[in-house]
Structure 1
Amino acid sequence: MSCEERIDEMLRERVGEFEEALESEDPVEWLDENALALTRLEVYRLELSWGGPQDYFEFFYDPEAEALVDIAYHYLDWFDGAVRRVKPGTREWEVLERLFYSAILIE
């Protein structure tokens, strides 16, 4: 089975596990024992249009590593939508990464 075919069931299973965690004596301890990691990411959303259609980019930045870790492009038109992850090493990634560091992540 593909991930697309499995994802809904996996989501239900994970939510069920979290329900158990919340019912435990110490949900923080449960997470500490059962989670692989908790990573803090900052999300920068560059909105380009809204309404129908709407499109925007999301830039996922790890402040601890000081690194751009993911970029997603969203295109939505009323009751339909699509998302594409931008692959590192592609021309699209290189252009968007340059834009992020030169015009979005300004300190």
Structure 2
Amino acid sequence: MEQKSCRERIHLELKDRLGDIRTLWRLYQKNPEASHRELGRFDEYGLCFDYVAKNTFRDQKRSYFRWQLSWGGPADEFRFYLDENVDAVLIEYWFLDWNDGASKKLSGDAYKLLDEIFQHFKDLGIVELERSKSLSS
């Protein structure tokens, strides 16, 4: 049986991710030390949060921040594109599998959730730290 394309799978993958993130974020807001029995802790969720400078990848025209959740095949991540005030103006979910990939712009409640999390990363100083690391390289 042939596997479906990333484009065919992205809706369900995003829905599952958002469910996990919503659960962990709510738990974290009540108690930052709390742990979910299956998902772990919010501050340990995913692989990394980093800054991807313009032209890091072929045909990449804009810089963005990446919250990478998984790596390999498949991989998935959220990308945050910012304005001059370092506020998110576009948030995308990317689902990537070997030689295939798809993205979806977030809107509505999904956008609000990820924007709130990005603001949290900003408040913690992670956004500025990651951007400064990239600029000093």
Tell me the TM-score range normalised by the shorter chain: 0.5 to 0.7
TM-score by length of 2: 0.42
List structure 1 segments (4+ residues) > 4 angstroms apart after TM superposition.
none
RMSD over equivalenced CA pairs, Å: 1.9
Give, as a single letter, the amino acid of the residue that structure 2 aligns with 1:78: W
1:102 to 100, 120, 132: 120
Greater fraction of residues in strand: 1
1:81 to 85, 98, 101: 101
Alpha-carbon distance in 2 for matches of 1:101, 1:85: 18
% same residue: 36
Q: Secondary structure at the match of 1:55?
A: strand
Indicate whether 1:92 and 2:97 are aligned.
no
Indicate whether 1:46 and 2:67 are aligned.
yes
Name the counterpart of 2:15.
Answer: none
Which structure is larger by alpha-carbon Rg, 1 or 2?
1
Between 1 and 2, higher relative CO (CA 8 Å, sep ≥ 6) is seen in 2
1:65 is displaced (CA, Å) by 3.3
Consecutive unaligned residues in structure 2, runs of 5 or more: 1-61, 126-137
1:66 is displaced (CA, Å) by 3.9
Consecutive unaligned residues in structure 1, runs of 5 or more: 1-40
TM-score by length of 1: 0.53
1:42 is displaced (CA, Å) by 4.8
Alpha-carbon distance in 2 for matches of 1:56, 1:105: 21
